[in-house]
Amino acid sequence: MTSIRQIRRDNENRIDYGIILNVMVLAIIGLLSVYSTTTLIEGGNLVPTLFHALWYGVGTIAVIAAMQLDSEQYWKLSTYLYGFGLLLLVLVLFFYDRELAVTGARSWLRIGSLSVQPSELFKPAYIVFMARVVTEHNNKYPNRTIKTDFMQLGKILMFAAPPMILIQLQNDLGTNLVIMSITAGIILMSGISWKILAPIATTVIVVAGGIIIVVENFPEFLIDNNLVQEYQINRILDWLRPFENTQGSGYQLAQSIKAVGSGQLSGKGFGVSQVTVPVRESDFIFTTIAENFGFLGSSVLLFVYFILIYQIVQICFKTRNEFYSYIAAGVISMILFHVLENIGMAIGLLPITGVPLPFVSQGGSALLGNMIGIGLVLSMKYHHRSYMFGMEDDFSY
């Protein structure tokens, strides 16, 4: 008869403390960075740091709640989560926070004194639902052909289109790029033939390059004909020539590059800054880390992200559950794109978009969405039979 002590030991082994430790390290980095930015550098008070810590508390509760559900329960709830998420994306178009819409994005719902961004909370729901869509298709068509792969791609794009349209109506390109990256990650994992994906990827690259050429050479034509908004044109032009308009639209990017470079190898020290960067506590939090701790501190941050993603991949391989694998692919794509885009725009490698640095940037909705994603990953090991009994879990819902 199994002893109570053995049961407790088995339960502890089902919890991935490595992932929890990595998130805790990122939480400490985030809290210190927000404190350094808002209190020491900008001369504010402790309120932003305390709110960031409070959101981590809410996120911890969300992680624990997400861990309680197993793959079968997520499978059954996936459609409802996707539908409820779409409903929130529709509601925010009509009841968005007018105070925060001055930047052009209608992405926040105000609940009392609290503003929430539904699109951030939609991301984990979208991941779970798309994982079910792909798994169902693969179970229905075990013998893959070009025809069935086209059918699968069509299903994925069909369910990706509604949230992307709704988010674009909110004028939130950054979140839409994250949804695209999640979709792309799941497509790559789905097993669709490269005979289909290679031409699509080539077309996307060519079209993107063509857009950049048109924007650089004919910006007035695009603005005069209302094809794009002026600020979108400016973001691309500032990205291509970051120090050409430093007193205008390119000010933020130019200051960001200066701040990162001024940190040099080891940084200026905690809370020390001589470069002003707008919106530093959220989208440009990396500039604080780079200026305070230099290349070495920035490298440590990137290493922590690498270890976190590596551990998620490990769980994915060990569970050997197709549904869970697609969930893991979605979470990895979400975190990886956030990291690459946020740091990329801070150092001038990518155009500026409103994409925060995961677990570090100030912003409750984004933090909560990422924490739910971690809860989904932790649920894999916590409930999967291959961890509890050392055997492969067959999947058929």
pLDDT digits (tens, 9 = 90+) for 240-266: 999 988 888 899 999 999 999 999 999
pLDDT at 3 > cutoff 90:
no
Q: Tell me whether residue 313 is in a domain.
A: yes
Q: Give this prediction's pTM.
A: 0.91
The rounded distance, in Å, linking the Cα atoms of 73 and 114 is 30
Q: Tell me whether residue 395 is in a domain.
A: no
Domains held by the chain: number: 1
Higher pLDDT, 80 or 397: 80
Indicate the average pLDDT of the chain.
89
Q: Tell me whether residue 74 is in a domain.
A: yes
22 HSE (CA, 13 A, CB side) = 20
pLDDT at 73 > cutoff 80:
yes
pLDDT at 221 > cutoff 50:
yes
What distance lies between CA 174 and its chain's CA centroid?
A: 10
**Percent of the chain, pLDDT > 70?**
91
Q: Tell me whether residue 64 is in a domain.
A: yes
Least reliable range by pLDDT among 38-42, 132-136, 192-196, 381-385:
381-385
Q: Tell me whether residue 206 is in a domain.
A: no
Q: Tell me whether residue 243 is in a domain.
A: no
Q: Tell me whether residue 235 is in a domain.
A: no
pLDDT at 9 > cutoff 60:
no
* Range 386-390 average pLDDT: 42
Start-to-end CA span in the chain (Å): 32
- Per-residue confidence (pLDDT) for residue 390, from 0 to 100: 39
Q: Which domain holds residue 20?
A: 14-188+260-389
Q: Tell me whether residue 255 is in a domain.
A: no
For 10-34, b/e burial (b = at least 16 CB within 10 A) is eeeebebeebeebbebbbebbbbbb
Using CA atoms, how far residue 326 sits from 127, 287, 396, in Å, is 8, 33, 15
* Range 80-109 average pLDDT: 83
